[in-house]
Amino acid sequence: MRWSRNEVRAGMAVTSTRGERLGNVIRTGAETFVVEKGVFFPKDYELRYDHITALSGDQISYTLSDVDSRFAVPAEPPRAPAAPAAAQTGEVRIPLMEEEIGIQKVARETGHVRIKKTVKTEEKHFNVPVTREDVVIERVSASGEEVSSELAFKEQTLDLPLHEEEVLVSKRTRVREQIVVRPIVQAVEKEASASLRHEEAEIEDTRGRTLRDAAESTTRPGLGAPGSRR
């Protein structure tokens, strides 16, 4: 579920999903809401609505991203106030930020493979040997034997049935072959690019003096430690 400024209001307590108290909401905007400077954040900080995991009463559960965690400082137990760091060591530390590439692979559908069966009809011609009956009439000479007078001079008809074989064609269905379709996974290289930003420091001394970088002095030939003379 995606929450918006309609559900978030000033005064609500924000807690990370790890149980860390991030602070209270002091202002809401269209895309982000502002959490007051507290133990976890060194300054008032903007958080995104789409990182909210739950809303319950006056409590907001929030998932810190890598970017959020980079600006966060861990909560420490209360201790006696100490003098400013610059007064103790004389150093002022200015963080220089840079962007890193995060690679994420997302599966997406690229197309379909359709297999369509069609029915085709073809004529098959074949010869089948069959048998049939026929008659052969043959005249032979009589032996001169006498026959009964009852059989003489009487008309009669003899009916002899003749047979032959016919071809009856029947069809049955059988599996001729099978088509097996299985997906395979191939590893290919895809080119990706991103524009990364980083911060650099430009140092200017209004007194007109040239300031040396400690890192350059240790690598440049002929330069010793800071403060030494040649």
- Burial tier of 25 (Cβ tally within 10 Å: 0-12, 13-18, 19+): buried
Q: Specify whether the backbone of 11 is left (phi greater than 0), alpha (psi in -120 to 50) or beta.
A: left
Measured in whole angstroms, the distance separating CA 210 from the mean position of its chain's CA atoms is 56
The 10s digit of each residue's pLDDT in 165-195 is 999 989 999 998 999 999 898 888 888 888 9
Instruction: Round to whole Å and give the CA distance between 177 and 126.
Output: 24
Pairing type for strands 21-28 and 32-35 reads antiparallel
pLDDT at 130: 92
134-143 contact pairs (CB < 8 A, 24+)? 134/162, 135/160, 135/162
- Per-chain mean pLDDT for the chain: 78
Tell me the percentage of the chain whose pLDDT exceeds 90: 17
pLDDT band at 68 (very low <50, low <70, confident <90, very high): low
Q: Which domains does the chain have, with CATH numbers?
A: 1-68 (2.30.30.240)
pLDDT band at 76 (very low <50, low <70, confident <90, very high): very low
Taking the model in full, what pTM does it have?
A: 0.34
**Is the predicted pLDDT of residue 137 greater than 70, yes or no?**
yes
DSSP state at residue 226: T
Tell me the percentage of the chain whose pLDDT exceeds 70: 76
